Amino acid sequence: GAGVSQSPSNKVTEKGKDVELRCDPISGHTALYWYRQSLGQGLEFLIYFQGNSAPDKSGLPSDRFSAERTGGSVSTLTIQRTQQEDSAVYLCASSPRGTVYGYTFGSGTRLTVV
């Protein structure tokens, strides 16, 4: 596609429920990143994929968070047993081969846990 696509754009969920957030990177971009932007913490790195592998998961805040990428394309970020502190905007980015050139962000998914 022309840009990085994220869905849904907004998600409201009840505390304790599981949620899945989807990211469609730019076609041909082998690297994919997830970030989280929350009021108290700013914009934080979560996980990095190169192809279907995740060589850097250091930003995942707890074992309730997981992500996968299939076919070197679409990625899903899953949050289990959501908590109110998980409320944030989740941003996805992709880049060609993991370089900073062509690094492109999606518009994000706003997650609200009530």
Partner 1 sequence: KQEVTQIPAALSVPEGENLVLNCSFTDSAIYNLQWFRQDPGKGLTSLLLIQSSQREQTSGRLNASLDKSSGRSTLYIAASQPGDSATYLCAATTDNFNKFYFGSGTKLNVKP
Residue numbers at the binding site for partner 1 (CB under 8 A): 4, 31, 33, 35, 42-45, 48, 50, 55-56, 59, 91, 93, 95, 98-101, 103-108
Scanning the structure block, which residue is given the tokens 């996980």? 47
Question: Shortest distance, CB of residue 47 to partner 1, whole angstroms?
Answer: 9
Q: Which residues contact 91 (CB under 8 A, 6 or more apart)?
A: 6, 34, 35, 36, 37, 43, 105, 106, 108
Nearer to partner 1, 80 or 104 (CB): 104
Question: Shortest distance, CB of residue 62 to partner 1, whole angstroms?
Answer: 18
